[in-house]
Amino acid sequence: MSALRRTASKARPLPADAVGGLELHVHRPMPGAAVIEVIGEVDLCTAPRLAEVVESRIRSTVGIVIVDLGKTTFLAVSGLRTLHHLQTLAHDRDVDFYVDPGDSHPVRRLLERLPLGCERPGIAASLGRTSRLPSPRGITT
């Protein structure tokens, strides 16, 4: 009778905010603003983690929250629903909420067909270069 031998695999540890192909990085480019950079796929499995991270920023003391989807490789309808929920929560808490599709073709394609109304292309990159907050709720001045 032979014994089964279990070999230890050398798995790379995931970054602190990486779940199922999703990485989230939170930046504070200026006081009162938070940018959540989303890298990877937002689907049924990863949307709850996105909601958790963004919701905690909305419930904090910041006045503007930007979700940067420029490096998002896939956005499922469940992710779009999550963004809509976060948009509603931000509105209820009087926090300005924007979604920046960046150069992500999958994100832009979905938002063209099912717009949220809070899309602001380029806002994540421009926020770090300016000392002025964007106009509230997408109103241009």
pLDDT 10s per residue in the chain (141 long)?
Answer: 444 333 333 433 345 455 668 999 999 999 999 999 999 999 999 999 999 999 999 999 999 999 999 999 999 999 999 999 999 999 999 999 999 999 999 999 999 999 999 999 999 988 766 545 555 444 333
For the whole prediction, is pTM greater than 0.85? no
Tell me the C-alpha distance between 19 and 73, whole Å: 14
- Minimal CA–CA distance to 126: which of 72, 64, 77? 64
Residue 72 has a pLDDT of 97
Six token digits for residue 43: 């689907």
